[in-house]
Structure 1
Amino acid sequence: MTLTSLMNIIFDLGDVIIPIDLRAPLRNFAMLANQSEEAMEALWKKHGIWQQYETGLIDDENFRQAVRELVRHETDAPDKWADELIDTAWNTVLLDLPVERIDRIQALQGQHHGRPHRLFLLSNTNAIHIREVNRRLVSLGKPTLEELFERVFYSHEVKLMKPNPGIYQHVLSEANLVAEETVFLDDNRANIDAAAALGIRAVHVVAPKTIIDYLAELGA
């Protein structure tokens, strides 16, 4: 099946559009707190701050305060854990943005066999990361994520995370999509399996291939 019949395309963000290093924030917070990376990882897993933030249970301010309480030593200077420092360490998860991927998505906004593609973004993410991605896009003269796609669906706004089937059902319902006419590109096997179970054509993005390669295989 090609994109002749699959006219709706849903993209993941991390490691699909922009490469990420999930351990980078742990390394940076550990360094700032003078702790081992293993100890920092144990703290994050115990308190579940990442998941709380990315499901919208806590907002930016509460996330930063939770980080301070989790990793700040009592002898730290008051300004050591300023908002900007936390945001910078947190955003190290985001690696260099490949402009050619943005250009490829923009090209899909045109016609394909006489019909326009409908493009969507579905990401487990949070407001700090989205602001940083959009800042980088604008600095490169590219549209923001909200301008690049017809609709964006962020876990912290939907208050559900992939691979929960509810988040896919939400996207299908909100965008009025037919699952069998929709392709979803994601780098996580569990996310792919969950989408496929609902009838969505799910494509597992695995390096060294990129979305440019997979879109070509689909005939886009």
Structure 2
Amino acid sequence: MDFLPNKSILKNLIFDLGDVIIPIDLTAPIRNFAMLANLPEDDVRALWMEHNLVGQYETGVIDDEAFRAHVRKMLRERTNESDDWADEVIDTAWNTILLDLPVERVERIKELPSKYRLFLLSNTSPIHIRQVNKVLKGMNQPTLEELFERVFYSYEVQLLKPAPEIYQHVLNEAGLVAEQTAFFDDNAANIKAAAELGIQAVHVQPPLTIIDYLKGI
């Protein structure tokens, strides 16, 4: 396990969302849209990549309404099954990426503000954020916006990790010193990019969880 270097100067913690705070299954939306459209998963995956829907949505190029319209149109090219899909059907399939949220991770993060400034940095979409906040409220927990001093969503800043610009944006906007800041993410490319800016980047890898990486912090 990679422990944080220079803990004595650590003042700020930045967390990724997926597979750090909430477990995710990246394959689930494709699988569910394939079932809804009665198409092979490989066909749906190819269409998804061809149209770059995730990239457009997660950078705010398209909004919720346009995303849903693109999903309907994209799958209609192969089948008529998507014609009458309600917004809720598309949102539900899209949100299957989100698995059960372990409340103990939230509880651990809630213990940290007395010692550190806390931030969230996530490549994500509005539909996912609304669902995570709905789950948190159902658990009588604070929303993401309440849990962190500030949240940085890719669709709002119109940048995606691992672009160096997104990390620099967070540092500038929050007034953070890179060397005094730790960043927790499950993606190796994201960790590498953050580290190259001098951020204390920590690669969260199973079977360990964020709780393990926060021990001693």
Is TM > 0.5 for Structure 1 vs Structure 2? yes
Distance 1:41 1:118, change over 3 A: same
Report the counterpart of residue 197 of structure 1 in structure 2: 196
Report the counterpart of residue 88 of structure 2 in structure 1: 84
Task: Name the CA distance, whole Å, in 2 between partners of 1:10 and 1:78.
Answer: 41
1:95-134 residue CA offsets vs partner (Å, 9 max, x unmatched): 0000000000001122xxxxx3100000000100000000
Q: Indicate whether 1:19 and 2:23 are aligned.
A: yes
1:43 partner amino acid: L
The DSSP-based 3-state class of the residue aligned with 2:8 is coil
1:148 partner amino acid: L
Segments of 4+ in structure 1 off by > 2 A? 1-4, 72-79
Task: Name the CA distance, whole Å, in 1 between partners of 2:79 and 2:24.
Answer: 32
Report the counterpart of residue 103 of structure 1 in structure 2: 107
2:105 partner amino acid: R
1:154 partner amino acid: Y
CA RMSD of aligned residues (A): 1.1
Q: 1:98-177, aligned counterparts within 5 Å? A: 98-110=102-114, 116-177=115-176
Task: Name the CA distance, whole Å, in 2 between partners of 1:180 and 1:156.
Answer: 26
Report the counterpart of residue 34 of structure 2 in structure 1: 30
Report the counterpart of residue 113 of structure 1 in structure 2: none
Task: Name the CA distance, whole Å, in 2 between partners of 1:3 and 1:148.
Answer: 22
Task: Name the CA distance, whole Å, in 2 between partners of 1:96 and 1:78.
Answer: 30
1:192 partner amino acid: I
Distance 1:68 1:196, change over 3 A: same
Count of residue pairs brought into register by the alignment: 212
Distance 1:214 1:77, change over 3 A: closer
Check whether the contact 2:72–2:82 (CA below 8 A) recurs between aligned residues. Answer: no
Quote how far apart the aligned CAs of 1:3 are: 3.5
Quote how far apart the aligned CAs of 1:163 are: 0.1
Report the counterpart of residue 42 of structure 1 in structure 2: 46
Report the counterpart of residue 9 of structure 1 in structure 2: 13
1:214 partner amino acid: Y
The DSSP-based 3-state class of the residue aligned with 2:100 is coil
Gaps of 5+ in 1: 111-115
Quote how far apart the aligned CAs of 1:188 are: 0.2
Gaps of 5+ in 2: none
1:100 partner amino acid: E
Give percent identity, aligned residues only: 66
Task: Name the CA distance, whole Å, in 2 between partners of 1:145 and 1:162.
Answer: 19
Task: Name the CA distance, whole Å, in 2 between partners of 1:23 and 1:77.
Answer: 20
2:81 partner amino acid: D
Quote how far apart the aligned CAs of 1:38 are: 0.6
The DSSP-based 3-state class of the residue aligned with 2:9 is coil
Quote how far apart the aligned CAs of 1:78 are: 4.5
Which stretch shows the higher mean deviation, 143-152 or 3-12? Answer: 3-12
Quote how far apart the aligned CAs of 1:4 are: 3.2
Task: Name the CA distance, whole Å, in 2 between partners of 1:82 and 1:41.
Answer: 21
1:60-103 residue CA offsets vs partner (Å, 9 max, x unmatched): 00000000001135543743x11000000000000000000000
